[in-house]
Structure 1
Amino acid sequence: MIKNILLLGGTGLVGSEVLKQLAAEKNFERVFVWLRSALETPVDSRIQLQTVTWEDFQAGKVLFPKVDAVICCLGTTIKKAGSQDKFKEVDFEYPLLAAKLAKQNGAQSFLVVTALGSDANSAIFYNRVKGELEGELKQIGFPLLGIFRPSLLLGDRKEFRFGEKVGEYLSQILPFSWLGLGKYAPVQAKTVAKAMLKTLFQQVPSALPKTLVLENEDIHKIGS
């Protein structure tokens, strides 16, 4: 049984869905949720919120909790981050540091959201950073590493992202138009969250490092 979980990115589109769905789960004892800003305390007493600045985290001022698993839903955009360097800090450096500390502290499972098209050799900066992160995570040697590569994410995001809003609108008025898109079909954040939790609670960490790469089509199937 998984006793303790650390959730990173709990206020984001996928992370907030993970948090909601965890409240309905019985297969854990406690979830630590690291947040940059305060969040209303969940009803579930097993969920512990902690305000953490990444500056303090990087400086080693934050005690890393003893957990069995980490669910990493960290992510931003270059526009919001302000530069490519800041984007890489959030989408590459923070998840990688968290993964290394998690492994040092005995975590058996690390699940992370990257993106469709992640490729360390991609000419597209966004995809390249995601691919570089995946490559580094594979080298850490988790008994279970779950990599989730969703396409366009749909859901109730606090911040406005034009592409996602267009995708969400089209999915409502033309629900069957996505069928021909195959692996590119947009996916609901709650579907990604469900696929992550199913994977976490149903997969048993192996004696040897095991990596599961779930493409967008896999996420649709598992999370439906």
Structure 2
Amino acid sequence: MKILLLGGTGLIGKQVLLSLVFYPQIKKVIVWARNSPSSSNPNVPIEVVQVRFEDFKVGKVSIPEGIDAVFCCLGTTINKAGSQEKFKEIDYEYPLLAAKQAKEKKIPGFYIITAMGSDPNSSIFYNRVKGEIETELRKLQFPFLGIFRPSLLIGEREEVRVGEKVGEFLGHLIPFGLLGLKKYKPIPGEYVAKSMIYSLLHDKPEPGVAPIVKIYENDVLWEIGKDHSF
């Protein structure tokens, strides 16, 4: 099984690469990134292709043949992007371009990280953009579309995200499970990465069956992420 990973230098993308040692079914990973990822895995062949998504946008690069699934871990914040327009380019335009090309290549599975609260009708710009990309991906009718909606992420990043640091602090301070708020508990990026791989290995569309869209909410990501036995 060969996957294409978009966003291999981010929190979840790096965790995908680190987690592959547990899953011998995955034989090769092609990583598209602006810079070489710091994470690697001696047990799985990893090919890093330095891609500027501006080039992808104008057709200078394309998804290779023989890919079984695309993992889209692209994502930023409005502060880091610098504007709402740039944020939407990274979190909406690029994933949609990749998805359309993957559909043309007849790749059976597309797996994307969005966010808890994704809603195309949301008054919150961030949640609205995440909901809009989910809506557009549904229209492409992949045999399998996996949507992963984590709460605030916990883990080491190259840049500091204040909101996530606050979420990490609250995650240690507040007993979310005891309060019935497990769905909202900040989650390690590792758990989200493992949930994506779990879905790849277990959510198998049947030939001739209608396209499947499966949404993994935060509480389910927690349950899968804690289980290393699958």
User: What is the TM-score with the length of structure 2 in the denominator?
Assistant: 0.91
SS at match of 1:171: helix
> Cα deviation per residue 1:158-206 (whole Å; 9 max; x = unaligned)?
110111112223334x363564223111111101111111111111123
Q: How many residues align?
A: 221
**Letter of the aligned partner of 2:59 in structure 1?**
G
Q: Is the 8 A contact 1:68 1:106 kept in 2?
A: no
1:7 to 1, 5, 8: 5
Given that residues 29 and 44 in structure 2 are in contact (C-alpha distance below 8 angstroms), is that contact kept between their aligned partners in structure 1?
no
Quickly say closer, same or farther: Cα 1:178–1:13, change in 2 above 3 A: farther
Matched-pair identity in %: 52
Partner of 2:117: 117
CA distance in 2, matches of 1:138, 1:63: 22
Gap regions ≥5 residues in structure 1: none
Q: Which residue of 2 aligns with 1:152?
A: 152
Counterpart selection for 2:15 from 14, 17, 23: 17
One-letter identity of the residue aligned with 2:15: E
What residue number does 2:200 align with? 200
Equivalent position SS for 1:23: helix
State the match for 1:52 in structure 2. Answer: 51
What SS does the aligned partner of 1:165 have?
A: helix
Query: Offset at 1:157?
Result: 1.3
- Relative distance call for 1:159 and 1:41 in structure 2 (3 A) is closer
User: What is residue 37 of structure 1 aligned with on the other side?
Assistant: 35
Which string of whole-angstrom CA distances, capped at 9 and with x for unpartnered residues, describes residues 36-83 of structure 1? 113358334511111000111111011311211001110000111111
**Alignment-mate amino acid for residue 214 of structure 2:** L
Deviates more, 1:143-152 or 1:57-66: 57-66
Which secondary structure state, in structure 1, belongs to the residue aligned with residue 32 of structure 2? strand
Secondary structure at the aligned position of 2:76 is classed as coil
Q: 1:179 to 1:159 in 2, by over 3 A?
A: farther
2-side partners of 1:154 and 1:164: how far apart? 7
Within-5 A mapping of 1:183-194: 183-194=183-194
Q: Distance in 2 between matches of 1:144 and 1:39?
A: 27
2-structure distance, mates of 1:186, 1:168: 6
Unaligned ranges ≥5, structure 2: none
User: Structure 2: which amino acid aligns with 1:212?
Assistant: K
| Counterpart contact for 2:176–2:184, Cα < 8 Å | no
After TM superposition, the structure 1 stretch with the greater mean CA deviation from structure 2, 35-44 or 23-32, is: 35-44
Structure 1 residue 120, shift from structure 2 partner: 0.3
TM-score normalized by structure 1? 0.93
Q: 3-state DSSP class of the match of 1:197? A: helix
Shift in alpha-carbon separation, 1:155–1:216, aligned structure 2, 3 A: same
The offset of 1:223, in angstroms, is 1.7
Distance 1:126 1:41 in 2: 28
2: CA distance between counterparts of 1:223 and 1:41?
19
After TM superposition, the structure 1 stretch with the greater mean CA deviation from structure 2, 202-211 or 38-47, is 38-47
Report the AA paired with residue 130 of structure 2. Answer: K
Q: Which secondary structure state, in structure 1, belongs to the residue aligned with residue 22 of structure 2?
A: coil
